[in-house]
Amino acid sequence: MGFSNVNHQLLSEIATNDQHGENSSYFDGWKAYDSDPFHPTQNPNGVIQLGLAENQLSFDLIEEWIKENPRASICTTEGVSKFRDIAIFQDYHGLPEFRSGIAKFMERVRGGRVRYDPDRIVMSGGATGANELMMFCLADPGDAFLVPAPYYPGFDRDLKWRTRVQLLPVICESSNNFQITKAALEEAYERAKEASIKVKGLIIANPSNPLGTVLDRETLGSLVSFINEKNIHLVCDEIYAATVFSSPNFISVSEIIQEMECNRDLIHIVYSLSKDMGLPGLRVGIVYSYNDAVVNCARKMSSFGLVSSQTQHFLASLLSDEVFVGKFLAESSKRLAKRHKIFTEGLEEMGISCLKSNAGLFCWMSLRPLLKEATTEAETLLWRVIIKEVKLNVSPGSSFHCMEPGWFRVCFANMDDATVEVALGRIRKFVRQGKEGEATEKKKQWRKNLRLTLSSRIHGEAVMSPHKISPHSPIPHSPLVRAST
């Protein structure tokens, strides 16, 4: 028995199973970038990271605030007097001023139309930890949550890996812009029932990752009605709430339940500062539940993934500055809108369309015309060419559990303007080569047909000619054509 097999037996089944999801093409793209990262001078031919939904467009605003507010940090001369208070053990409820700051920020992001109770704010290590914490609170191993597809690939890791909860896709289609329908929900629920799978809830991302769209009031109302009818939970992942950059406005489930009769014990929100403020490294995840029992249970579980007290202290000061928060949200929205416009218009000029969107840090891009055939295999083939030859890490729709081949998520907010231009230039060149390759194939097919016609005539006349038309084209194959051979 090999050493690795012995090691495998010494570890737990959870530690060694493949449910983490790292074998997904979504994560494979990240690995390709990590092994050959683009740099404008040191590695200009490297892979450009278009697979990371990160918001780096407004860092300068936060940096300026930090310079003007040195007391917010315990690592400055001005703020060191708070060091001892912050460094000692903190109750896992969290610093009161931190929870208050988060509650006010959530209200601000939602247009002041709802109020949040700081005592219901539960901390976790990023949205990853918050989503898993919700599963531990709401479901047992083997139970299932419905999730509209396409959905964020990390859900397979965050929600399933350690909890042993199942995810059952609710199929959404491009024919209605991937909107969630009551019929699709009912179909997924009935399939689970027929398979004797216990459905404990529905989890949605609003705004959507990967679609970049927001749910309208009618759809949200229908989702709340659906989970009430079935007496199952609704978990709303709202981590992109402040990335909305054009109409329609974001509507939280919190606003919906103020307007209709429902069992609030079934409603829960996951939030984070990773996307809205671009702070994933600070690992700030939030669970907000209207269910007292869930709040109490989640708070006990949160001791396994608390936000550091130093981070709480800093953010309490930052988020309590209402003038700064207002300026940040307005400017961030403008910058996201500008980058989205540059990117989508650049793609449109090449004949590449995207799903109409108004939120998020990405576009849901259609490369269906570039597929050799409408299959997942063809999508994977195209994706490999884009990674290896175009040197762009984009994420294929199949990794988001999209049932229609040819969709790709492409992120646009994690780089500077110059890198955006390089990325668009590479896409432009690739599309041009693809069109040239297609024209070459048509020309070769015409020549082949011509040869067959001539050959038929020659044999019919019993004449042999020493001259033959060459079957080889002098025009080089495009990467797309090469990939199919």
Give the residue numbers marked as catalytic: 152, 237, 239, 275
Q: Are 240 and 221 in contact (CB under 8 A)?
A: no
Q: Find, among 254, 3, 287, the residue nearest to 127 by Cα.
A: 287
Angle (nearest 5°) at CA 173 between 423 and 127: 65
Half-sphere exposure of 174 (CA within 13 A, CB side): 16
Residues 6+ apart with CB under 8 A from 355: 174, 177, 178, 211, 212, 213, 363, 364, 366
The Cα–Cα gap between 420 and 431 comes to 17
Q: Are 469 and 447 in contact (CB under 8 A)?
A: yes
What are the CB-based long-range contacts (under 8 Å, 24+) for 95-100?
A: 95/309, 95/312, 95/313, 95/316, 97/316, 97/320, 98/307, 98/312, 98/313, 98/315, 98/316, 100/316, 100/320
Q: What does residue 166 show for φ and ψ, rounded to 5 degrees?
A: -95, 150
The Cα–Cα gap between 479 and 389 comes to 7
Q: Does residue 192 sit in helix, strand or coil? A: helix
Q: Virtual CA dihedral for 95, 99, 104, 108, nearest 10 degrees?
A: 120
Instruction: Say which amino acid occupies 423.
Output: A
CA 307 to chain centre: 23
Residues 6+ apart with CB under 8 A from 350: 427, 428, 431
The Cα–Cα gap between 51 and 412 comes to 9
Q: Are 239 and 270 in contact (CB under 8 A)?
A: yes
Query: Which stretches does DSSP call E strand in 34-75?
Result: 48-49
The Cα–Cα gap between 485 and 62 comes to 50
The Cα–Cα gap between 222 and 256 comes to 10
Q: Find, among 34, 78, 72, 70, the residue nearest to 52 by Cα.
A: 34
The Cα–Cα gap between 370 and 430 comes to 10
